[in-house]
Structure 1
Amino acid sequence: MRTIAFDLDDTLYDRTEPLKQTFASFTPTKELRFNEILPIYHKYSDIAFEKVTNQQWTLEESYVYRIRKTLQEQNIGISEQDALAFQAMYTKNQDRIQLRPHIEEIIQYLQNKEIQTIIITNGPSTNQRRKVRHLGLEAYLSANEIIVSEEEGVAKPDVAIFKVAEKRFGFAKNEVWYVGDSFPMDIIGASQAGWKAIWLNPSRQEPVINSNPAEKTVYSTEALKEYLFQIIY
């Protein structure tokens, strides 16, 4: 093993926490049950992300769409202005994100063992790099070691974004492992690229296909640490 690549959102930090805070603070959504609304929000968020990736929508249009469509399913209507206010609250809450337990220890261990550490993340460049900064990851990774889908014009699970990393850092597919939380984006994407994958699955999701191509599935960052420390010594 020469390199380990990590996903960012919901892998290195818990993306649901700032979103949960926002739903709890935003007047039209205060009474909603977060666990019930979250998968609906993610559904429309995925649709909006694809539109932005294909340059069909602006980021602002995607922000308005995902929260308005989510609330429409709850028979709640909000204006475009209110939708942007929700996004502003969400962005502010994202600025207080923290690494999941054990993640910093894992990165330090990998770098002490001279294992290159990189990030491959889907999303807008400004947003993703702001998260990296607030998580304190700039202390461990250079800007070049963070691959952002918007900057490359291609997003996971497309094999092409994994090829970007291979070309940039000069490693072979059998020299790299990928750690991510999303089965369709991270695990299937990395596996199709010929990379070994570790599925960080704290919510204990079921695979969206009959087989699980991950080399290892772990259900906590503590278990991830134990596994990596076991295979890298």
Structure 2
Amino acid sequence: MTSAPPSSFTHELGQLKAVCLDVDDTLMDGPRASRRALRELLGTDRAWPVWERVTDDYYGRYVNNELRFDVMCVERTKAFFAAFGEQIDYTEAARREDLRMAAMQRGWGLFDDARPCLDWLRDSGLRLAVITNAPSAYQRKKIAAVGLADVFDVLVISGEVGVAKPDPRIFRTACDALGLSPGEVAHVGDRLDTDARGAASAGLHGIWLNRDGAPAAADVPTITSLHELPEMLVADLPAIPAVPELIR
């Protein structure tokens, strides 16, 4: 269910000319692919909560420039197995990570609501951009693998621009690349602080995609599915034609 946008958002949304979106866990169903990969590696995904916890820790170190992405992946795998009492060296961790990564890439895919929403946004005349925290080659490969290489006007990837969400500079880099002011751009992502609040602090319209049913946030508009994004935009953008089958 779409939450009521804050009044400042409602007042200014008519100026919207572009929508930026996060990739992982917003457009792409990362958890499904990652769980599948863990299951192939271990024969079970019962250790998924541990993998999530270790991933949050080590990916944070990558985003903060403490570890290169390739090193982060291997160190994360070492730490994961260490959590169960198995001490493996870097070479063995790299071998297991290669197996896991190959399985995950075979499972890359979009959420069911992603492509219809992107098509609606594009057909409505809005420009599209990606803002993502990831290494360049890896993320571009992922975007191409799911058929989105030609969908976006702009790709802003932290590994290319040297700053990561929620740093305001990455959001402003996207606006500059689009040739628009922050007030003309919305950003949608699954991380409340990293995406929605980060975008809002940079002057964009931050929208939180709360897929997991977490407690609502009062300071940013919230949707629980990308199917709800057209409804939110149509309410304040009468010039954009509604597509009934996408407004649920």
Structure 2 unaligned blocks of 5 or more: 1-15, 241-248
Return the match for 2:50 from 30, 33, 37: 37
Partner of 1:16: 31
Q: Deviations over 1:20-67 (max 9, x none)?
A: 11211114xx455244224312322333313xx52x433332112112
Question: Does the aligned pair in 2 maintain the 1:22–1:86 contact within 8 Å?
Answer: no
Question: Does the aligned pair in 2 maintain the 1:3–1:115 contact within 8 Å?
Answer: yes
How many residues align? The count is 222
Return the match for 1:47 from 53, 56, 60: 60
Whether 1:162 aligns to 2:184 is no
TM-score (ref. length: structure 1): 0.85
Deviation at 1:218, TM superposition (A): 1.6
Change (3 A) 1:222 1:110: closer
Partner of 1:130: 141
Task: Give distance in 1, aligned partners of 2:59 and 2:69.
Answer: 13
Partner of 2:10: none
Task: Give distance in 1, aligned partners of 2:150 and 2:56.
Answer: 34
Task: Give distance in 2, aligned partners of 1:86 and 1:200.
Answer: 33
Work out the percentage of aligned pairs sharing the same amino acid. 25
User: What is the root-mean-square deviation in Å for CA atoms of aligned residues?
Assistant: 2.1
Partner of 1:111: 122
Counterpart of 2:101, as a letter, is T
Return the match for 1:179 from 167, 184, 188: 188
Change (3 A) 1:82 1:230: farther
Structure 1 unaligned blocks of 5 or more: none
Q: Which has the higher contact order (CA 8 A, sep 6+)?
A: 2
Partner of 1:80: 90
Partner of 2:70: 60
Q: Deviations over 1:169-197 (max 9, x none)?
A: 22111111110001121122101101111
Partner of 2:232: 227
Please show how residues 175-214 of structure 1 align to structure 2 within 5 Å: 175-206=184-215, 212-214=218-220
Question: Does the aligned pair in 2 maintain the 1:40–1:70 contact within 8 Å?
Answer: no
Question: Does the aligned pair in 2 maintain the 1:149–1:155 contact within 8 Å?
Answer: yes
Question: Does the aligned pair in 2 maintain the 1:102–1:225 contact within 8 Å?
Answer: no
Structure of larger gyration radius: 2
Partner of 1:3: 18
Change (3 A) 1:230 1:13: farther
SS in structure 1 opposite 2:128? Answer: strand
Change (3 A) 1:90 1:103: same
Deviation at 1:225, TM superposition (A): 4.5
Task: Give distance in 2, aligned partners of 1:8 and 1:64.
Answer: 22
Deviation at 1:79, TM superposition (A): 2.8
Q: Deviations over 1:52-104 (max 9, x none)?
A: x52x4333321121122233223232332232223223332224311111211
Task: Give distance in 2, aligned partners of 1:205 and 1:138.
Answer: 31
Task: Give distance in 2, aligned partners of 1:196 and 1:22.
Answer: 35
Moved more, 219-228 or 123-132: 219-228
